[in-house]
Amino acid sequence: MGQTVLIIDDSVEISDLLKDHLVSLGFTVHTAYDGKSGVEMARKHHPDVITMDFNMPGANGVQVYRKLRQSPETSVIPIIFLSSTITGIIRRMVTESPLVRFVKKLSNISEIERVIFEMVALPKQAPPPPLPDGLSGQASEEDELLWGKEEKPGK
């Protein structure tokens, strides 16, 4: 198969369960247990799809989503939000699109598997979805505290 999935979730149990299942299907799987290391792993491994928890310590799913969409190397990676609480608030913060899907974390594993297969089958050069209001791409003070100041290219 040769396709790669990155799982970003602070729950080791859920990450391991999903990883074991995906590996049995032939996927290469990387895991990160917080948002910051998830962004680093996405930049390093260039996965075909990312599954991500919404509620994580440090950086929540929206902050991680924003960081991934700001970077050209990760801006078109399909993202599946796995959360036990998919509410209207989350859907207002991140708009569902061909590159963004929402699946209840406690769904049947076959539902998660189905969505992953749909996402890895997407064309690789699909344009990234627009950032929702308030996610302009500009770093805020909160972002700098969480992620640190990134150096500009050429410095």
Quote the pLDDT of residue 30: 98
Residue 51 scores a pLDDT above 90: yes
Angle between helices 35-45 and 61-70 (to 10 degrees): 30
Output the CA torsion 51→56→61→63 (10° steps): -140
pLDDT tens figures, 16-46: 999 999 999 999 999 999 999 999 999 999 9
Q: Taking 90 as the threshold, does the pLDDT of residue 59 lie above it? A: no
pLDDT of residue 73: 87
Residue 104: its pLDDT value, please?
A: 81
Give this prediction's pTM. 0.78
Q: Kindly give, in sequence order, each residue whose CB lies less than 8 Å from that of residue 6, ignoring residues fewer than 6 positions away.
A: 29, 30, 31, 32, 38, 41, 42, 45, 47, 49, 50, 51
* Short-list 68, 102, 63, CA closest to 85: 102
**pLDDT value of position 153:** 39
List, in order of start, the domains of the chain with CATH numbers. 4-147 (3.40.50.2300)
